[in-house]
Structure formats: C-alpha cells, structure tokens
Structure 1
Amino acid sequence: MNYSQLIQQLSDKVIKPVYLILGDQDYLSSQIKAAFVKMIPDSERSMNIGSYDMEDTTISAAVEDAILVPFFGERRLVMINRPYFLTGMRTKSKLDQDLDDFLEYLKHPEQSTVMVIFAPYDKLDSRKKITKALKKVAVTIEIGNLRENEIKQLVTDKVTGTGFKINRDALDRMVELTGGKLTTMMSDLPKLILYNNDTKVIDLDSVNGLVSKSMEQNVFDLVNSVLQKNPKQSMDIYHQLLLENDEPIRINAVLIQQFRLLLQVMILQKHGYSQGNLASTLKVHPYRVKLAMQTIKKFSYNQLREAYIGLVDTERQMKSTRRSPELLFELFVLKFMKNVS
C-alpha cells in the first residue's frame, strides 16, 4: 500500500489494528501521524494516544498501553517510533528490549487499538523472528524511495489544495535544486506561496530566487565539472560548499559516494538493470539514479574509475597529513585533468 491509498482508507474509516510505516520521509511521516491522530476525538486524545520512542522506552511499555481498554472512547492509538530491533543496525540505547510481549501481542492484536510502527529505515532485517511476525500481521506502507512522478504529484496536490498553481518548469527546477527530497520541497512551499500571493502561480523565477540548492545537487554539479575538466568551475563550486560550512572531509566523502554510485549504475545497467531496479538494488533515491544514468552516458568507465581512486587517495591524505584539505582537493582536480584523456 502507498501513502495516498492509506490516507484514503483512513478517510473512509477502513482501519486495521497494526500498521508498519517503512522509510525515512519526515514529511509523509508527519502527515500520516496527523491522519491517525485525527481518528481520535479531541476530548479523548490525552487519555487514548500514546507515543513511544524505542531508543529511550521499552517495547513492553508500548504493549502495556496497547492492551488497555480505550478510556471513554472507541479506540486507542499507540505509535511506536524508531524500532531499531527490527533492523540489523547498532544503537547507543542501553535498554533491554524484551520482545516476547510484542510477539505475543502480534499474535492477537487488540481490535480496539490501532498500533502504528514508524520505521525510518531503508530496510528491515527480514531474517529476524520479530520482523517476520510483524510483516505477517501489519499493513505495510512504504514511503522511503518515492519515484519522481510521485513526488511531483504530492507537491502539486499540496499547491492546488491552497488555491495556487505551479508551472511545470518550476516544479522540475524544484526537484533539481532539492535533489528530489520531498520534505525539503514541502518546507519551501510556504515562502513560494507567500511570494506569489498576487498571481497565485508559482513560476520558475520565484523557484530560482527562493529555493536553495541542496548539498547533494552542488556535489552533483561538482562531479560533472570535474569530469568535464573545468578546473575554475570545480573550485568555485568547492569554495561555495566550504562557505556553506561543509567540512572538506565530508565534501570529499560525498564525492566518493557519488562516483561509487556512477560506477555501480554503469556496471549494473550493462547487466540489464532498469532505473527502478537500480534504485531498489542500490538503496538510493530514484532521482539520484536518474541523474547518474544521465551522467554515465557522457563519460567512460576509466574516467569514473580514475576519479574515484583519486578521491579515495585524497581522503587518505586528508586524514593522515597536515596539508591543507583545500590544496589536496585542488591537486586532485589538476592531476585528474592531466592524466585522464
């Protein structure tokens, strides 16, 4: 089930006892939480809504809440956040999570309780007993890696819901500037709506003037300028990233990540992978895959490989020497442009 289908079902009062919201998407998570909270009348919310963060609360506490009878109401709402025990990840939490109570609850969920589990992760550990039990019972809504057309539709629906319109080129530019991040796009809408209050139309000029370019998009531009052997533009973008308080070591790490993605996309595409398959296989945003597929058409495997190796060596020097990180990056750019034909 997707986000829109869930909202429609809740609006139609088709409600199940257990839901799993999978994916790291702040905007959609907040909208889903609001939709579930709306099920509970205002006067009953203080007594019939519980929210539990698994990194500082035990799952047993949430289960104890879930088995209680609603207090002068029709149903209870129990929201469970960051259930790290469904994944293979490590956490700083020192809580002893006894999952037996949770397993028992999943066998016979309370029909008067709606339990909603928000798992802001790319994937869960499907080998775990608790994960298998949850997926067997829960209605799963995946909100993580939305396709570009889904992102655009959600933004368009939000804009039209306020009585405004957004031009197609303006929407395309928003996706480009934000790297297709829905939460960022939604947070930029209020200022765009305020700025275009007279015309009620969000145009390209206002997007260019008000929407900031994401670090990921700046890095993508930097990757292209390096590959195109444009040293001045490369250093201009690099200095802009530094002015935005991005650490040199972090910039270099993101560059390595981007070149690794380009190589992976190039190799997997030769093995017949489509854009959708690449996004799910590599666990990256579909828009990043789209940009990568456009980039690899212009450059060779050797060019990408040499840049990747050069950046890995630059990172090693940044960590092991006292030389200026800015100088090391400039030397990388010049060496790459000299050596790669």
Structure 2
Amino acid sequence: MTVFDDFKRLKAQGFPQILVIFGEAEDMVEELKRQFLAAVDFDPADLSQAYYDLNAGNSDLALEDLESLPFFSDSRLVILENLVNLTTAKKNVLDEKQLKRFANFLEAPSETTQLVLILHGKLDSRLKIVKKLKAEASFLEAIALKNQELIQYFNQSTTLSRPVLTRIAEKSNDRFSIMKQNIDLVETYASGREVTVDDVEKVVPKSLQDNIFALTDLIFKGKIAEARDLVHDLTLQGEDLIKILAILTNSYRLYLQVKLFQEKGWAENQQVSVLKMHPYPVKLANQLVRSLSVKSLKKGLLDLIQLDFDIKNSKADKAYLFDVTLIRLTLKKI
C-alpha cells in the first residue's frame, strides 16, 4: 500500500472534512496536491473554493475565509498551503493570535467548511495544535516510493511495458518526478508507436549513477584519458567531485561484495536478496568484476577511502587529489 492507494480510498469514500497532505518527499507532495485539485475540479473562480499559499503573507484573509460561512453554496473548500507553524521548519507564517484562531477552528470546525492542509516537511508532533489536528484530521504522508512501487504506480497509469518502466526507473534514480518527466520524454519521442527499451537508452539522459558505472568500466579497462575526460565532463555539468567520490566509493564497495559472492558461487538473485538493493546495479557489478581480483578491489576501495580523508583534511586541492587517485586506479595492474 502506498500513499496513492490511500488517496484513492479517501477519494472513493469522499474526502474528509479535514485532510492533511504532508511529507518530506517534495515531488510526492506536489503530485498529491495535483491529484487532489483535479479530483475536486478546483477552480479559483469558484466562490465555494479558496486556495491560499500562506508564504505569500495573506494569513488574515485565509483565516477569515476559514471562519466564514459559505454564501453561494452549501459548503466551502479552503486549502491552506505552507502552514509551516505545524512543521519542524524553524519558521512561522501565523503569529500567536492567528495560531489561536486556527486552533479555535480545530476545536469546533464548521460543518459547512472543508479544510485541506498542504505541508512541505515533517509535522512537529510535540506541538499541542498538531496533536489536536491528529485527533481531527485524516493524513496522507508523502513517502518516496520504492523501486517496485514506482514501477507499479506508472504501470497502472501508462501503456508502457514493464521492462521499459524498469529501465526508466533505473535511469531516473527511482525519483518520482524525474521518472514522470522521462516517461513524457520517451512517449513524445515514440510519437504514438510502442516505446522500446532502446528508445529509453537513446532519449533518457544518463543518471550520475550510470555515469559512475561507465567511469568504473573505463578504470577497469585502463582507459585513463577517457576516464579523466568523463570526470571533467561531469564537473562541467555541475556535479561536485565530493558527490562523485561518494558514489564511486559506494560502487567499489558493491563490486567487492559482488566479487566475494561470485567466489562463493552465489547467483545474482541471491546477491540481490542479501544486499537488499535493485537488481540492475547488481547485474552490472557482476559483469564488471568478473575478471578482477578481490585484492585489486580491496586496494581500490582503500585508495578511495584515503582520498576522501585527504580531501576532508585539505591536504591539497581536491581536483588534484582526485585526478592523482584516478590515475593510480586506472593504471595499476589488475
């Protein structure tokens, strides 16, 4: 069960009088907001509906709307976004007097008013007003979907095949908003015909993780010029060397684990089960390390850990240190 399943259930039952959409997964909050506005046919010109972004400094007007009786219909929908007083963010949009007015509404909400809160972040459960809200409202918490949940969600809303969706998820780093954009991209490219995995490879940009796999492949093949060029291109694209190093180190750690599994004769599905990660990087790792030794992978991992230490202790320019380590990794005998 995902938050979208909960959303469908609430929609089928009829949205509650007080609904809170919140969470730290920003793209998921935005998607839930979009789906809610579509479900209620939200129209800013409709006088029975009102939306307020409280960051815009219209708190008094929003509270007046919340407290008022509907004039032109039997009920009124009031949507308040960014009521950050209720979150762990160190920021307020309501002063104490305004917050009291909001608390008074929660104490005795008008039967003719439906309130929807859209909060970007984590609720501060220590606050009395949040505890009161929890007693009165229904909640939809935006939690990032796991790989298989992501594929299943888009499998229900698109005609793309599962292998295509699986590859898009991999190239999107399992990010909901990026995957959604990439689906639109490949569908536009295919222009009505069936989308193939080849289309995904041609159209969807490589993720940083994909580029790191390409980098390690160059390292293992001893292609120093190409490896340095790839790192240079990544930094020109705005990627930070520290981030590249972190992913490269994690990749080497995975390669070492996979090599040890190979020596034990473990199948890829057994490795995936133990590692608790997506099958795709495990599959790539198995291909990359087949001809390598455990000793060389351990040495490479130690070199990267040492590089991280040297950079953090400012022994020299990080670009220089990274380049020296890259050369050492690429030119060593394996």
- 1:7-63 Cα shifts (integer Å, max 9, x gaps): 343245343323233232436624533434542575962552122234x43655533
1:32 aligns with 2:25: no
- Per the alignment, in what secondary structure is the counterpart of residue 45 of structure 1? coil
Using the alignment, how far apart are the partners of 1:306 and 1:60 within structure 2?
Answer: 59
1:246 aligns with 2:243: no
Superposition TM-score, scaled by structure 2 size: 0.70
Q: How many residues align?
A: 307
- 1:194-231 Cα shifts (integer Å, max 9, x gaps): 332343x2210111111112335535665x55996967
Q: CA RMSD for the aligned pairs?
A: 4.4
Contact 2:20 2:116 in 1 (8 A): yes
Using the alignment, how far apart are the partners of 1:128 and 1:103 within structure 2?
Answer: 12
> Which residue of structure 2 lines up, in the alignment, with residue 215 of structure 1?
208
Where in structure 2 are the equivalents of 1:116-135 lying within 5 Å?
Answer: 116-121=116-121, 123-135=122-134
Larger radius of gyration: 2
Using the alignment, how far apart are the partners of 2:89 and 2:248 within structure 1?
Answer: 23
Task: From the superposition, tell whether residues 39 and 198 of structure 1 become closer, same or farther in structure 2 (CA, over 3 Å).
Answer: closer
Using the alignment, how far apart are the partners of 1:141 and 1:295 within structure 2?
Answer: 38
Using the alignment, how far apart are the partners of 2:169 and 2:45 within structure 1?
Answer: 40
> Which residue of structure 2 lines up, in the alignment, with residue 184 of structure 1?
178
Using the alignment, how far apart are the partners of 1:132 and 1:2 within structure 2?
Answer: 21
- Per the alignment, in what secondary structure is the counterpart of residue 130 of structure 1? helix
Using the alignment, how far apart are the partners of 1:84 and 1:260 within structure 2?
Answer: 36
Contact 1:60 1:102 in 2 (8 A): no
Where in structure 2 are the equivalents of 1:97-108 lying within 5 Å?
Answer: 97-98=95-96, 99-108=99-108
Contact 2:218 2:227 in 1 (8 A): yes
Q: What is the CA distance between 1:128 and its match in structure 2?
A: 3.1
Where in structure 2 are the equivalents of 1:151-166 lying within 5 Å?
Answer: 151-159=150-158, 165-166=159-160
Using the alignment, how far apart are the partners of 1:131 and 1:290 within structure 2?
Answer: 42
> Which residue of structure 1 lines up, in the alignment, with residue 187 of structure 2?
193
Using the alignment, how far apart are the partners of 1:302 and 1:133 within structure 2?
Answer: 56
Task: From the superposition, tell whether residues 231 and 209 of structure 1 become closer, same or farther in structure 2 (CA, over 3 Å).
Answer: same
AA aligned to 2:8 is: I
Task: From the superposition, tell whether residues 225 and 111 of structure 1 become closer, same or farther in structure 2 (CA, over 3 Å).
Answer: farther
Where in structure 2 are the equivalents of 1:107-118 lying within 5 Å?
Answer: 107-118=107-118
Q: Does 96-105 or 38-47 show the bigger shift?
A: 38-47
Contact 1:178 1:184 in 2 (8 A): yes
Where in structure 2 are the equivalents of 1:1-341 lying within 5 Å?
Answer: 2-26=3-27, 29-36=30-37, 38-39=39-40, 42=43, 45-46=46-47, 48-54=49-55, 56-57=56-57, 61-90=61-90, 97-98=95-96, 99-121=99-121, 123-159=122-158, 165-199=159-193, 201-215=194-208, 217-219=210-212, 232=224, 234-243=227-236, 245-247=237-239, 250-253=240-243, 255-256=245-246, 259=249, 307-314=304-311, 317=314, 323=317, 325-334=318-327
Superposition TM-score, scaled by structure 1 size: 0.69
- Alignment gaps of 5+ in structure 2: 257-271
Using the alignment, how far apart are the partners of 1:152 and 1:48 within structure 2?
Answer: 34
Using the alignment, how far apart are the partners of 2:180 and 2:195 within structure 1?
Answer: 13
Using the alignment, how far apart are the partners of 2:114 and 2:322 within structure 1?
Answer: 53
- Percent of aligned positions that are identical: 20
Q: What is the CA distance between 1:147 and its match in structure 2?
A: 1.7
- Alignment gaps of 5+ in structure 1: 160-164, 267-274, 280-285
Q: Does 209-218 or 58-67 show the bigger shift?
A: 58-67
Task: From the superposition, tell whether residues 111 and 145 of structure 1 become closer, same or farther in structure 2 (CA, over 3 Å).
Answer: same
AA aligned to 2:187 is: I
